[in-house]
Structure 1
């Protein structure tokens, strides 16, 4: 049977550097490695990172993994553009020089502060596992409406490893004054220095609407612009900051390696959010009489989640005795109505069963046989706006 007939709800939605991404449910995608030794090796590296993640409570600022196997990783579907595309859609470039000539709009300041904190929390989570992302750039940051999450961990490695993916302005070469960090002209070693520098440049992008030095002509030949940026950053020469003073202060400290750890940075970015400074005092307050209504509502919601979990488990078990295609469509339909944006432990468990069901039916094996076009797929975007 043709794969598109066997799995009619599967759609090809993205072509990444090392993998193809398919939508399998309005809230779930699966990454499948491209053919090729390098791509499969990088994919195995990412699998190892998700194996580490699975042993800890999930970080809300990292794209959630529901299930993984040797030839596929099932992830939450961040259904909108990358941070790179979002920012580019808000500015105008000169076609001849590729310089940003106008920023039509910046995202609202409260949202920018939220994104700043989300990124810091994600990288701090990695640091708590003795890991560094190693490829922090806007293409690896995904959005679902205004929700922002960090993705793509094929370059992630232990702190102290060689920094391989150094791309200005999110990485910089060491100068002669930084011999303790590595050899001059190299990228040095992964750790708080490399991660916070990348975050500083990401914060600049988010808050100014273009990349570092993206608004000016540094060389006569546009092809030499990137090389000049590398040189300026190596010499610790940065553009002047004149935006929000609190965020600018964080950017400067990130660029100059002022945070001893990313955890320290994350503690700082959390204070940007409204009400965070007095959160402990608020949580310590006793529940007043009107708040009992909220408590009752929470109890009712908890009972409903337990009931839904039991029902879905029965449905999954029953589906094994029915036609796989019909069962899968029914599970997907019912499931999408009951799962919200912020998943509970029960929700994640349900999604894992859903993904395991697809794997048992051979989806990953079939997707790994050939490239999407050879399987009869074409890239489809329509579902982004309809679900």
Structure 2
């Protein structure tokens, strides 16, 4: 798999970034994630950072009959409602304030679907790019989505993927949805202080929504012995919150066609643009390219003869 970068993407609104990639909003309903241009030679030689994410999304799409809108619930929606200081190297700066909070009914709908997927399909929640199986060491995840272990045989790790690690991540995700930012996002903490606070279970004050706050606290304090019990408790306590909430339906077929049209126009570069053209246009392009090659050959040959 090659790395596709395009200048056209950078003309759109940058809404997020991470260790491996940047995210741009290209339409009101479509965002594009692309690998960073400034990756080191070692990073470029390693496994493509999107392979595990693709595998994860395939698993999510396989669950769409039970979780029809789970893929549409994404973090950029929340980041756009934040006011932040200017960061460096494409990362967000310190949080100043949250300009708008999400509708609790939508949060209830999303969190029910997410916990259902975790319960029924053993999906690992913490990071799409770090997908692994239950029982394996939890790697590539830091506070606030994981709680470090600072004592005992697993000291210096985040433990093994289990109900403990996953419900902690669910708690942090729910906090993000309810409060519009991650825990302690409004202050600067050292890595050691992050670890200390979460190891000692020194969490931010919860005071926005009684139901959600209780669920967040339960997840952070490892109340649920299994994810099935977590999913049951979440559904039981949030069922009355959903009501008749109007959900904006996303037509996947229509959006797929829009994506293909954007690619054909060169959003991801000329190579992919050609790949998504109709067969007759690709054939015509091949003929023109071949003709140009032959013409250049004869021009060079004539030049050699004259010389």
TM band (smaller chain): 0.5 to 0.7
C-alpha spacing 1:85/1:199, structure 2 compared with 1 (3 Å): farther
- C-alpha deviation, 1:259, in angstroms: 1.8
**Residue number in structure 1 paired with 2:168:** 197
**Residue number in structure 2 paired with 1:312:** none
**Residue number in structure 2 paired with 1:86:** 81
**Residue number in structure 2 paired with 1:257:** 222
- The reply on whether 1:62 has 2:79 as its aligned counterpart is no
1:193 match: secondary structure: helix
**Residue number in structure 2 paired with 1:172:** 147
Gaps of 5+ in 2: 1-5, 85-92, 274-307
Gaps of 5+ in 1: 65-75, 90-97, 136-152, 217-221, 280-339, 370-387
1:21-78: per-residue Cα shift (whole Å, max 9, x none)? 45554433333333546376211221222233343426344334xxxxxxxxxxx9x7
Q: Which one of the candidate residues 164, 181, 184 is aligned to 2:155?
A: 184
Name the CA distance, whole Å, in 2 between partners of 1:231 and 1:22: 35
Decide whether the 8 Å contact of 1:200 with 1:255 is kept in 2: yes
Q: Which one of the candidate residues 117, 129, 149 is aligned to 1:125?
A: 117
Decide whether the 8 Å contact of 2:105 with 2:241 is kept in 1: no
Name the CA distance, whole Å, in 1 between partners of 2:101 and 2:237: 16
1:190 match: secondary structure: coil
**Residue number in structure 1 paired with 2:256:** 352
1:260-275 equivalent positions in 2, closer than 5 A: 260-273=225-238, 275=240
2:148 match: secondary structure: coil
- C-alpha deviation, 1:154, in angstroms: 1.6
Q: Which one of the candidate residues 117, 122, 130 is aligned to 1:155?
A: 130
C-alpha spacing 1:258/1:34, structure 2 compared with 1 (3 Å): same
1:42 match: secondary structure: coil
**Residue number in structure 1 paired with 2:35:** 33
- The reply on whether 1:16 has 2:17 as its aligned counterpart is yes
Name the CA distance, whole Å, in 2 between partners of 1:104 and 1:21: 20
Name the CA distance, whole Å, in 2 between partners of 1:189 and 1:213: 25
RMSD: 4.5
Name the CA distance, whole Å, in 1 between partners of 2:249 and 2:117: 19
1:251-295: per-residue Cα shift (whole Å, max 9, x none)? 22101212233343233233444647999xxxxxxxxxxxxxxxx
Decide whether the 8 Å contact of 1:117 with 1:269 is kept in 2: no
Name the CA distance, whole Å, in 2 between partners of 1:341 and 1:245: 26
C-alpha spacing 1:231/1:46, structure 2 compared with 1 (3 Å): same
- C-alpha deviation, 1:241, in angstroms: 4.6
Decide whether the 8 Å contact of 2:136 with 2:161 is kept in 1: yes
- C-alpha deviation, 1:342, in angstroms: 0.2
| Count of residue pairs brought into register by the alignment | 250
- C-alpha deviation, 1:166, in angstroms: 2.9
Name the CA distance, whole Å, in 1 between partners of 2:221 and 2:186: 22
C-alpha spacing 1:81/1:209, structure 2 compared with 1 (3 Å): closer
Structure 1 length-normalised TM: 0.50
**Residue number in structure 1 paired with 2:60:** 53
Name the CA distance, whole Å, in 2 between partners of 1:275 and 1:43: 38
Decide whether the 8 Å contact of 2:124 with 2:134 is kept in 1: yes
1:350 match: secondary structure: helix
Question: Structure 1 or 2: larger strand share?
Answer: 1
Q: Which structure exhibits the higher relative contact order, with contacts defined as CA atoms closer than 8 Å and separated by 6 or more residues?
A: 1
Decide whether the 8 Å contact of 2:81 with 2:180 is kept in 1: no
Name the CA distance, whole Å, in 2 between partners of 1:103 and 1:10: 26
- C-alpha deviation, 1:88, in angstroms: 5.2
1:158 match: secondary structure: coil
Name the CA distance, whole Å, in 2 between partners of 1:277 and 1:83: 19
Decide whether the 8 Å contact of 2:64 with 2:70 is kept in 1: no
Q: Which runs of 4+ in 1 moved over 6 A?
A: 102-106, 276-279
- C-alpha deviation, 1:242, in angstroms: 5.2
Decide whether the 8 Å contact of 2:82 with 2:97 is kept in 1: no
C-alpha spacing 1:362/1:161, structure 2 compared with 1 (3 Å): farther
